[in-house]
Amino acid sequence: MREHGFMAKPNVDAEVIGLLADERGLPREKVQPSARLLHDLGMDGDDAVDFFNSVHERFGTDLTNLYEDWSNHFGPEGFSCWNGLIILPAALVGGLIAGAADLSAFSGVVVTITLLGAWVWAIRRWGPPDKIVPVTVSDVIAAVENGAWPRRSDDQSSSS
């Protein structure tokens, strides 16, 4: 479509939001520019990689700077060996409690799940601060409009 001899600028906002909504299986109206990909939309690991590959393919956006700082924005996909170091002792303790109290196997599972929930709650409350730097839908739109993901400045890296 042409307006006054110039190509009309595509609506990048709508295209990025549409791509993100399709990737996450969400209605477009649920994807707001202020939404954080990890925290609000649950995009992490392989899902985030797939989304940004789609962004690059569709818009040609250079994402080199994002990939260099990937671990500051997203976590790994799947089961970490660190998770096993938490789950295995909780299962062992849950089994011991169930056995000592002469509870059923189902009760042992309930005790284990309760222990895991308590552990997650304690880590979130008193554990190390979350150092993930959020990526918002607006950040993605700005990168597409600029043709590249911005380089992380020294100010940002010292405040992280």
Domains in the chain, ordered, with CATH? 2-75+132-159 (1.10.1200.10), 81-126 (no CATH)
pLDDT in tens, 22-39: 999 999 999 999 999 988
Residue 147 amino acid letter: G
- The answer to whether 160 and 72 have CB atoms below 8 angstroms apart is yes
Pairwise CA distance, residues 109 & 99, whole Å? 11
Average pLDDT for the chain: 80
pTM here is 0.63
- The answer to whether 137 and 14 have CB atoms below 8 angstroms apart is no
